[in-house]
């Protein structure tokens, strides 16, 4: 059966990062929390693991809290200060906050890994499309340094992180910032991401064609709500993007 390309006229593709280009599921989250917890424990001595875990779980959902949610991204320094306040009922000194922020960043960079096929796919797509990355993460530098380590940065025309904007997807300003950097319209820009609220609803509300990537289950899970938009396509392997995009200039799909 020949597949009819669903998105033959797009000029740019914007990818989500966690659970789209890299796995960031329970295993990675737990390992991140273990590393950050170890840094805190080695600094302060005692450590209430249950309280730490509860605090970290609340941190992850904070941007989506409220009715209606503000979709504000957390500041990593304030997050760390609040965590220390909760665990030790004291204010962390500036030098302690700086050290823990560095530990937080190092933990993230250590736990993320892109499969070699990702770079190969991005290189192939870059010959035909502008490529952007739009990620929800409080620490923009952690995202950028992890991309540098995996040699992914050079494949992108634009990298936008929620931590740099102070807002998370699905807030429309995040998609607008990414489109502005790419210089393309929503209609000619395909979005690829895993998260039902942040990516599927965010991209559709921004007027973009959207591919839902379902290979990994995101830890921040959102149930579909009445009136939600559906993705234009659903894939479970990134390679499945290629036949949806139509033939390249040489005529091979
Ligand atoms: Mg994601």
Q: Is the pLDDT of residue 2 over 70?
A: no
pLDDT in tens, 52-71: 999 999 999 999 999 999 99
Q: Are 43 and 37 in contact (CB under 8 A)?
A: no
Which CATH architecture group holds 12-24+114-244?
3-Layer(aba) Sandwich (3.40)
pLDDT in tens, 156-214: 999 999 999 999 999 999 999 999 999 999 999 999 999 999 999 999 999 999 999 99
Tell me the three state secondary structure of residue 159.
strand
Smallest Cα–Cα separation from 162: which of 196, 197, 206, 198? 198
CA of 147 to the centre of ligand 1 (A): 15
And the tokens for 206?
A: 């921004």
Would you kindly state where each structural domain of the chain is located, as residue ranges? 12-24+114-244, 26-111
CA of 174 to the centre of ligand 1 (A): 14
CA of 155 to the centre of ligand 1 (A): 19
Q: Are 16 and 199 in contact (CB under 8 A)?
A: yes
Smallest Cα–Cα separation from 13: which of 166, 232, 173? 232
CA of 63 to the centre of ligand 1 (A): 14
CA of 91 to the centre of ligand 1 (A): 32
């Amino acid at each position: 059966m020949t597949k009819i390309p669903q998105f033959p006229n797009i000029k740019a593709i914007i990818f989500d990062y966690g659970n789209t280009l890299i796995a960031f599921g329970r295993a990675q989250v737990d390992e991140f929390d273990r590393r950050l917890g170890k840094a805190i424990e080695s600094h302060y001595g005692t450590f209430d693991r249950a309280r730490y875990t509860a605090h970290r779980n609340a941190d992850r959902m904070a941007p989506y809290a409220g009715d209606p949610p503000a979709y504000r991204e957390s500041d990593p320094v304030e997050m760390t200060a609040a965590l220390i306040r909760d665990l030790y009922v004291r204010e962390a000194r500036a030098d302690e906050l700086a050290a823990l922020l560095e530990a937080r960043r190092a933990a993230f960079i250590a736990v993320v890994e892109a499969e070699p096929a990702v770079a190969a796919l991005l290189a192939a797509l870059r010959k035909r499309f502008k490529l952007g990355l739009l990620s929800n993460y409080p620490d923009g530098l952690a995202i950028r340094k992890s991309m540098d380590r995996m040699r992914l940065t050079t494949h992108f025309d634009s990298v936008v992180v929620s931590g740099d904007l102070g807002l998370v997807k699905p807030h429309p300003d995040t998609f607008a910032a990414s489109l502005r950097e790419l210089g393309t319209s929503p209609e000619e820009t395909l979005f690829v991401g895993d998260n039902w609220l942040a990516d599927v609803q965010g991209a559709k509300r921004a007027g973009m064609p959207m591919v839902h990537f379902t290979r990994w289950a995101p830890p921040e899970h959102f149930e579909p709500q009445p009136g939600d938009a559906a993705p234009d396509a659903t894939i479970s392997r990134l390679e499945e993007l290629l036949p949806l995009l139509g033939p390249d200039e040489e005529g091979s799909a």
